Amino acid sequence: MRQIWKSFRALYFASLMMLIGSGLLSTYLALRLAADQVDGLWVGALMAANYVGLALGGKIGHRLIGRVGHIRAYATCAGIVGAAVLGHGLIDYLPAWIFLRMIVGLGMMCQYMVIESWLNEQASPKQRGLVFSGYMIASYMGLVLGQLILVIHPQLGPELLMLVAMCFTLCLVPVAMTRSIHPAPMRPAPLEPLFFMRRVPQSLTTVLSAGLIIGSFYGLAPLYAAQQGLSTEHVGLFMACCIGAGLLVQGPLGKLSDRYDRAWLIRGVAGLLVLAALPLAIFPEVPLEVLFAVGFVASLLQFSLYPLAVAFSNDHVEGERRVSLTAMLLMTYGVGASIGPLVSGVLMKQFGSNMLYAFVCFTALILVLRIRPKAVTNLHQVEDAPLHHIAMPDSMSSSPLVVALDPRVDEQVVQDQMQTATEPDAHAPTEGDAPADADQPERVVPSGEGVVRPVAIVDVDVSTDPQDARPDASLDASRDVGVDRPL
C-alpha cells in the first residue's frame, strides 16, 4: 500500500483538493441562502443544477479531452470551475447562481474523467483494487474536511468562496507539473437502457432511489440542520459526521454483501433506513444529541444503497456489458440526484424542514415495496456470482470511466468499448514509417505539440516533454446493479 501511495499521491492529492472544495461549496451555499431567509426550493435547485452539470460533463468532457488532450482539458476546467466559484461572490442573482452551479458540476466531471483515466493507465491489473481504495478514501476525506472547515471558519463571508477557489487551483498543480505521457482518449460507453431495464430492473430502481436520497441530503441537509437551530460550526460537524459514516460503512458492507443475498440486503437496508429516519421525519425539532446520533445511523444506511445495487447488478450482467452498465447506473443515479433536491425542497418550503427526512422515509419505503428478492430468477447470473464486493466512492466523485479500474472487468473489454480511434494527423507517421504489429494493438496519444504518436497498450513509464504529461494514477471501479426479472 505504501508503494501505491507513493506512485499515486499526486492524483490522490488532486482528488482530495477537488472534493474539499466541492464539499465546502455545497454546504456554504445552503447555509448562505438559509442565512438570507431563502426557501429550500432554491437550495434544492442549486444542487439539482450541479448534478445536471455532472451529467452534461460526461458528454462534453470526452470531446474536450479528445480535442486538446488530458492536461489542457484539466487545466481549462479547473480554471473555469474556480472562476464560477468566485462568481457566486460577485453576483447575488439566484438564477445566475444556478447557472454557475451547473458550470461547476460540468467542469468537475471533466476533471474526474482525466484523473480516473490516468489512474487506470498507471495501475497494473493486480493493483486496481488497492488503487481504487486510495481514491475512495481521498474522495470521502475531501468531503469530510470540506465540512470541518466550517468549524474553524464559521463566518459565511466571501473568504470561504476564496478558499474553495484556492482548492480548485491547488488541485491543478500536481496535474500541470506531471512528466508522464497522456493517456489515450476515451469515448462514452453505449447505454443500452432498454436492455438493462429488462435485465436488472430492481437494481436500477435502487440506484434511482439512492440518487433521490443522497442528492437531497447533500443539497438540503445543511439547510435542515440550520433550521434546527444549529450554529454554522455544528452544521459543519453534522455534515462531517454523516459523510464520515459513508466511509466507515464500506468495510462492514463489503463483508455482508459477499456473504448474504444482495437483494435481501437492499430490502433490509431500505427498511432500516425508514425506521432510522422516522424520528427526524416526525418531530419538527429534536435535541442536538439525537440529531447527530440519528443522522449518523441514517447516513450509514443511505450510503449503503448505491454500492449494494452496483454489486447486485454485476452478478447478473456479463463482463462484456459492464462498461455500458456502469454508464447506465451513473446516468440513473444522476437523474435521481437531480430530481430529489427539487422535490424535497418544495416539501420543506411547504411543510417544514423535517420534510427532508420524511422524503427519505417515503423513498426508502417505496424501495422496500419494489425490491422483491423472490422475483430474482437467477437466469442470467454470472458463473462466479456473487462477485467480490468493492467499496464505492461517493457518486459525486466518479465518472463513467471509473469502470476501467474495476478489477472484475477485463481490461481488454474496457479498451474495446471505450477507446477511441484518433484520426491520423498530417504530422503522424505513415504506414511506411512504422508498421504496426497486427497482434499488438496501438493506442494513439496526442502530444503537447499536436503530433500524434502511436504507443503500445502496455503501461508506459517514459518521461517526455512536460506538456505531454500524464499524472500517475489508478482507480478502482464502479459496479453494476442487478436484478433479473422485470417487475
| Amino acid 348: pLDDT | 92
Q: Kindly give the interhelix angle for 40-68 and 322-351, rounded to the nearest 10 degrees.
A: 160
234 in a structural domain: yes
pLDDT at 379 over 50: yes
The reply to whether 458 falls in a domain is: no
What is the CATH classification number for the domain harbouring 75?
1.20.1250.20
- Determine the pLDDT at residue 419: 58
pLDDT band at residue 380 using 50, 70 and 90 as cut-offs = low
Between CA 320 and CA 326, with CA 322 as vertex, the angle to 5 degrees is: 155
Q: Quick check: 464 pLDDT over 60?
A: no
Between 486 and 304, the higher pLDDT residue: 304
- The yes-or-no verdict on residue 255 having pLDDT over 50 is yes
Residue 379 counted as domain residue: yes
| pLDDT-derived band at 396, boundaries 50, 70, 90 | low
Q: Which residues of 20-43 are buried (b: 16+ CB within 10 A; e: fewer)?
A: bbbbbbbbbbbbbbbeeebebbbb
Q: Is 377 exposed, middle or buried (0-12, 13-18, 19+ CB in 10 A)?
A: exposed
Domain membership flag for residue 250: yes
- Whether the bond into 386 is cis, omega within 30 of 0: yes
- How does residue 483 score in pLDDT terms, banded at 50, 70 and 90? very low
41 part of a folded domain:
yes
Here the cell at position 5 is: 501511495
Residue 474, pLDDT above cutoff 50: no
Whole-number pLDDT of residue 347? 93
**Residue 461: its pLDDT value, please?**
34
The stretch 267-296 carries a mean pLDDT of 94
Q: What is the mean pLDDT of residues 57-74?
A: 82
pLDDT value of position 484: 40
Interval 101-152: pLDDT, tens: 999 999 998 888 888 877 777 767 677 777 777 888 888 899 999 999 999 9
Residue 186 per-residue DSSP state? B
**pTM of the predicted model, to two decimals?**
0.79
Asked if the model's pLDDT at residue 225 lies above 90, the reply is yes
pLDDT at residue 334 above 80? yes
Tell me the residue range of the domain where 240 lies. 2-414
On whether residue 467 sits in a domain, the answer given is: no
- At residue 386, the pLDDT reads 59
pLDDT at 300 over 60: yes
Q: Would you give the distance in Å from CA 380 to the centre of its chain?
A: 28
Give me the percent of the chain exceeding a pLDDT of 90.
39
The pLDDT-based confidence of 196 (bands split at 50, 70, 90) is confident
Q: Is the pLDDT of residue 68 over 60?
A: yes
Q: Are 220 and 29 in contact (CB under 8 A)?
A: no
- Alpha carbon distance 210, 325 (integer Å): 17
Q: How many domains does the chain have?
A: 1
Cβ proximity of 417 and 323 under 8 Å: yes
Quote the strand ranges of 358-456, DSSP E.
Answer: 442-446, 452-456
Whether residue 444 lies inside any domain: the answer is: no
Residue 252 burial by Cβ neighbours in a 10 Å radius (0-12, 13-18, 19+): exposed
Closest CA to 81 of 62, 55, 44, 108: 108
Confidence category of residue 391, pLDDT binned at 50, 70, 90: low
At 26 the pLDDT is: 92
The confidence score (pLDDT) of residue 402 equals 63
Is there a domain that residue 430 lies in?
no
Give the mean pLDDT of the chain: 78
- At residue 460, the pLDDT reads 32
pLDDT digits (tens, 9 = 90+) for 198-217: 888 888 999 999 999 999 99
433-463 tens-digit pLDDT: 444 443 333 333 333 333 333 333 333 333 3
Going by pLDDT thresholds of 50, 70 and 90, the confidence category of residue 406 is low
Please give the pLDDT value at position 425: 42
Residue 468 in this model has a pLDDT that exceeds 80: no
Contacts of 473 (CB under 8 A, 6+ apart): 8, 10, 11, 115, 116, 118, 119, 120, 121, 122, 123, 131
- Is the per-residue pLDDT at 66 higher than 70? yes
Q: Which of 77-81, 153-157, 464-468, 478-482 has the highest average model confidence (pLDDT)? A: 77-81
Residue 341: enclosing H or E segment and its boundaries?
helix 322-351
